[in-house]
Amino acid sequence: MLTFLTILMIIISVLLILVVLIQPGKGDMVAGMGTIGGSITSMFGSRQAMNLLTKITIGLAIALMVLALLTNKFFVHQPGEAVVKPVTEGVAVPTQTVPAPIPSLPAPVEE
């Protein structure tokens, strides 16, 4: 289930990025965006296309937030639950040998 939610969140994130990139800037109209923006403009008109893209952006952002909250609520450790410890906990740490220091050069003689 966690894997499914994670994959769904990744897909929504990519879609959100694409929808935001399609949206025009404040001074631009959708027709100036090229093929993608032009086809949206021809379907809905420039004003309705901007409204549609805004609604899609808001919907995707809300969906992403809800999925993030659900994932956090149900799949993150809750207080009072048994904590699964790492496999390496309690294992002796290997000792490292420190290399011998590099002999320094003699100080220059000042005349």
In a domain, 38, yes or no: yes
In a domain, 47, yes or no: yes
Range of the domain at 58: 31-74
Say what the pLDDT of residue 105 is: 76
User: Which residue numbers in the chain have pLDDT < 50?
Assistant: 30-31
Work out how many domains the chain is built from and give that number: 1
DSSP string, 12-81: HHHHHHHHHHHS--SS--GGGG-HHHHHHHHHH-HHHHHHHHHHHHHHHHHHHHHHHHHHHHHHSPPTTS
How far, in whole angstroms, is CA 76 from its chain's centroid?
Answer: 18
Q: Residue 7 and residue 10: Cα distance in Å, rounded?
A: 5
Say what the pLDDT of residue 40 is: 58
In a domain, 44, yes or no: yes
In a domain, 92, yes or no: no
Write out the two tokens for 92.
């002796």
